[in-house]
Amino acid sequence: MTSNIVLAAILALGIVGWFAARSKARLLYTGRGSLHSMPGYHGWYVALWLIVPALIAWAAWQAIMPGLVETAILAQPIAAKLPTIDMDRAAVLSEAWNLARDPGAAAFNPLATEFAEPLRDLQFRYSMIGGVLALVLAFAGGAYAFTRVRSGFPARTRTERTVMFLLLLASLVAILTTIGIVVSLLYETGLFFSQISPIDFLTGLHWSPKDVADGADFGAVPLFWGTIYIGAIIAMIVAIPLGLMSAVYLTQYATPTARKVLKPILEILAGIPTVVYGYFAALTVAPMVRDFAEMMGKDNPSTESALAAGLVMGVMIIPFVSSMADDSMAAVPQAMRDGSLAMGATESETIKRVLLPAALPGIVAGVMLAVSRAIGETMIVVMAAGAAARLSADPFASMTTVTYQIVQLLTGDQEFNSPKTLSAFALGLVLFIITLVLNIVALRVVKRFREAYD
Amino acid sequence: MTDTWQSAAAQRRLAKRHAAERRFRAIGLASIVISLLFLAVLLFTMAKNGIGGLSLDFLLGSDSTDASTAGVWGAVKGSLLTMLVTLALSFPMGVLAAIYLEEFAPKNRWTEWVEVSINNLAAVPSIIFGLLGLAVFINLAHLPRSSPLVGGMTLALMTMPVIVISGRNAIKAVPPSIRDAALAVGASPVQTVFHHVLPLALPGILTGTIIGMARALGETAPLLMIGMRAFVSTPPGGITDPSSVLPMQIFLWSDEIDPGFVQNTSAAIIVLLVFLLAMNGVAIYLRNKFETRW
């Protein structure tokens, strides 16, 4: 509440400052060359000085305020009522915080209700102090900048320097995200490995994540196998031939009109959300696979099967493989194709003997990218592959994957720092490293391949 | 000479090669037909199961344990709020980063690291972003769990690389003569970019943004990680309220045992696909209408 008012006030001050500075600069204009910068830039200069320091101060105050409020309430006489044990005290206080924020919230501890009122008062008082502080800072910054609005003042250069800083900041977000992913995964994985040996994790053949006291096993090999079997074997058996042949047909045989119509329709397959594929796999494909397994003489096959998940995943990947194959075939010089055709080879012979071998490195790289996408896919396996961690080559068996287990371990009630929850981050790290390596290698291959024909 | 070519053996060999040609061509056509058939069956199944469930009550209702009264409005509103947060964060950051990398960044090791990191982020599995969101936004920053705020922030990190990559391509496509002309009449480099290059690149950037947003709208896995799977029977009032999103609603309903939910799930899928179709339609329209070939 107060936060919104303060932010609105700062913003309003900024707008007022912008107009004031611009009109002051306009009055300074006496003819060509009399002003260094356009009046608008003076406006921006003042507005930035008004808004930026005040916002930084307000954000900093928000960060330290809870600590100040808590110190203040512990200094009050009412604090004597608090339990002396640290943990109980923290519980009462956190409940009181909830009540202070939302009076309608349920409270289990009568003591918390008593604390809510003074807590709310203190919080209000401290946020008023912070708000006044921020507004004073805004005024001070604005006044300082306003006095500098003179005809010779380079307001444009100063404003543009801020803009450049903003641009740099935005591009840093990408690197910060990468660092954030690596650090958070490494940190949680480190906690996990301090309780479970990494060798057991990477080579163990038995997976049953429970609490350590109940004799949990964190051998992830069955998960790796399930991931590879579904994502890199079954899905690729579907996606590579269909994707490759679609690309061949679209680029080599189809008329331009047919290509223009068929290609976007094929791309729709890539745009359908994975949860829809997952539902389709569970609703339609999985029962069909089960019936087929029954026909093949398996008794009592499970509804969830590696084959159902892998098939649907393969179809999802088709447009991806197809467009990668398309790109790499387009990179093969026309002269090679023409040469083969001129020697009297038919078109299919040219494609099989000249075009595909020449495009092979690009296609292999495309397949690697497709594999990295397939093993990171979550919803299809969550909805259709099952939870049983087993080492089996039977496509009709239910099988589990790394992504499925991450979802299982982290949804529902969870306590942090139990090896069960932490193991999800270790699995995430393995997944991250594998997809990263696949991507880097694939991009290298593509780059070298492009250079070969340039 | 002609005898060799017209001999029966040569004719037979030629016929065999032509047959192989036809076979190859048929295989190519068949693989496209199979792919499209799969798509058709998928869409038909959803339409058949779901079309009966699309009523006004369904579109305006919220989640419920009873299949006949459950609706999607709560989830749709959650999705809209989440997308709003995602757009508000990823669009400005993505465009600014694209401008910096394409127009101002010095060619050094640091810039190379930023580029490599953006290209890799675009290929990182979405569930990893969910783990990041869980570890940083929820466990570290204590932001409200299962809220559109955290969901939108997580999806923004995922969408930003897409916007940067498409934004860079759009900026690269603006011919250097535009920049030269602006600089020649005295514009500063920043003015050149913001007054001339950016407006010309905007349609391309917007197309990329819409495609990135469409992908974020259909995303489920990262949101599962940050706990957006709660049962929410009232539409969220703001970005910090617990909420669900459309794909998550589909996932939750697909787990229900009551057969009435099959219709609901399929109907919700139709709603989601209509949204995606509309977004992609707008992207294609923008591209066709405003794209300039220099």
Phi then psi dihedrals of residue B122, to 5 deg:
-65, -20
Confidence of residue B125 (pLDDT cuts 50, 70, 90): very high
Task: Please answer yes or no on whether B117 and A174 come within 8 Å at the CB atom.
Answer: yes
Other beta carbons less than 10 A from residue B56's beta carbon: 8
Query: In this structure, what CATH number is given to the domain that contains residue B247?
Result: 1.10.3720.10
Task: Please answer yes or no on whether B125 and A348 come within 8 Å at the CB atom.
Answer: no
B183 contact A CB<8A: no
**Cα(B173)–Cα(B11) distance, rounded to whole angstroms?**
53
Residue B1 has pLDDT above 60, yes or no: no
User: Is B119 found in the same domain as B25?
Assistant: no
Chain A CA closest to residue B214:
A271
Q: Please name the amino acid found at residue A81.
A: K
Q: Is there a domain that residue A197 lies in?
A: no
Q: Is there a domain that residue A288 lies in?
A: yes
Structural domain boundaries enclosing A93? 2-174
User: Is A162 found in the same domain as A225?
Assistant: no
Beta-carbon contacts below 8 Å between A and B: 240
User: Is A346 found in the same domain as A246?
Assistant: yes
Chain B CA closest to residue A159:
B190
CA distance B142 to chain A (A): 12
Chain A CA closest to residue B100:
A167
Q: Please name the amino acid found at residue A232.
A: A
- What pLDDT was estimated at residue B177? 94
Out of A168, A349, A376, closest to residue B125 by CB:
A376
Those residues with Cβ within 8 angstroms of residue A169's Cβ, 6 or more apart along the chain or in another chain: B96
User: Is B71 found in the same domain as B47?
Assistant: no
CA distance B56 to chain A (A): 22
Confidence of residue A312 (pLDDT cuts 50, 70, 90): very high
Phi then psi dihedrals of residue B257, to 5 deg:
-85, -35
CA distance B247 to chain A (A): 6
User: Is B124 found in the same domain as B104?
Assistant: yes
User: Is B284 found in the same domain as B196?
Assistant: yes
**Chain B residue numbers touching A373 (CB-CB < 8 A):** 123, 125
CA distance A133 to chain B (A): 24
User: Is B70 found in the same domain as B38?
Assistant: no
Helices A256-271 and B8-50 pack at an angle, to 10 degrees, of 40
Tell which wins on pLDDT, A393 or A89.
Answer: A393
- What pLDDT was estimated at residue B261? 85
Give the model confidence (pLDDT) of A16-64 as tens digits. Answer: 999 999 999 888 888 887 888 888 899 999 999 999 999 999 989 888 8
Task: Please answer yes or no on whether A274 and B220 come within 8 Å at the CB atom.
Answer: yes
User: Is B67 found in the same domain as B115?
Assistant: yes
Q: Is there a domain that residue A41 lies in?
A: yes
User: Is B13 found in the same domain as B134?
Assistant: no
Task: Please answer yes or no on whether A411 and B227 come within 8 Å at the CB atom.
Answer: yes
Percent share of chain A, pLDDT over 70: 94
Give the model confidence (pLDDT) of B257-270 as tens digits. Answer: 788 888 889 999 99
CA distance B189 to chain A (A): 9
Number of domains composing chain A: 2
Chain B CA closest to residue A375:
B125
Tell which wins on pLDDT, A344 or B143.
Answer: A344
Sign, CA dihedral A266-A268-A269-A271, equals positive
User: Is A100 found in the same domain as A249?
Assistant: no
Domain's final residue, options B10, B30, B53: B53
- What pLDDT was estimated at residue B55? 84
DSSP H/E element including B274 = helix B260-290
Name which of A16-25, A351-360, A442-451, B21-30 the model is least confident about. Answer: A442-451
Give the model confidence (pLDDT) of A173-184 as tens digits. Answer: 888 999 999 999
Give the model confidence (pLDDT) of A17-30 as tens digits. Answer: 999 999 998 888 88
**Chain A residue numbers touching B101 (CB-CB < 8 A):** 171
B251 contact A CB<8A: yes
User: Is B122 found in the same domain as B46?
Assistant: no
- What pLDDT was estimated at residue A144? 92
Domain's final residue, options A141, A174, A207: A174
Under a CB-based contact definition with an 8 Å cutoff, are residues A223 and A362 in contact? no
Number of domains composing chain B: 2
User: Is B104 found in the same domain as B7?
Assistant: no
Give the model confidence (pLDDT) of A207-218 as tens digits. Answer: 887 765 566 788
* Prediction ipTM score: 0.91
Burial of residue B71 (CB within 10 Å: 0-12, 13-18, 19+) is: buried
**Chain B residue numbers touching A172 (CB-CB < 8 A):** 114
CA distance A387 to chain B (A): 14
Q: Is there a domain that residue A206 lies in?
A: no
Range A219-234 average pLDDT: 91
Phi then psi dihedrals of residue A245, to 5 deg:
-70, -35
Q: Is there a domain that residue A209 lies in?
A: no
Q: Which two tokens stand for residue A76?
A: 């009050």
Q: Which two tokens stand for residue A66?
A: 């809870």
B234 contact A CB<8A: no
User: Is B175 found in the same domain as B157?
Assistant: yes
User: Is B241 found in the same domain as B113?
Assistant: yes
- What pLDDT was estimated at residue B3? 65
Structural domain boundaries enclosing B202? 58-290
- What pLDDT was estimated at residue A103? 65
User: Is A355 found in the same domain as A240?
Assistant: yes
Burial of residue B231 (CB within 10 Å: 0-12, 13-18, 19+) is: exposed
Under a CB-based contact definition with an 8 Å cutoff, are residues B29 and A249 in contact? yes
CA distance B78 to chain A (A): 17
User: Is A224 found in the same domain as A170?
Assistant: no
Q: Is there a domain that residue A314 lies in?
A: yes
Query: In this structure, what CATH number is given to the domain that contains residue A259?
Result: 1.10.3720.10
Out of A174, A280, A376, closest to residue B114 by CB:
A174
**Chain A residue numbers touching B163 (CB-CB < 8 A):** none
CA angle in degrees (0–180, nearest 5) for A314-A315-A321: 75
User: Is A238 found in the same domain as A158?
Assistant: no
* Residue ranges of B 40-79 with Cβ closer than 8 A to chain A: 41-42, 45-46, 49
Strands A207-208 and A217-218 come out as antiparallel
Other beta carbons less than 10 A from residue A253's beta carbon: 16
Confidence of residue A76 (pLDDT cuts 50, 70, 90): confident
User: Is B137 found in the same domain as B181?
Assistant: yes
**Cα(B125)–Cα(A315) distance, rounded to whole angstroms?**
18
**Cα(B271)–Cα(A76) distance, rounded to whole angstroms?**
56
Out of A245, A318, A349, closest to residue B27 by CB:
A245
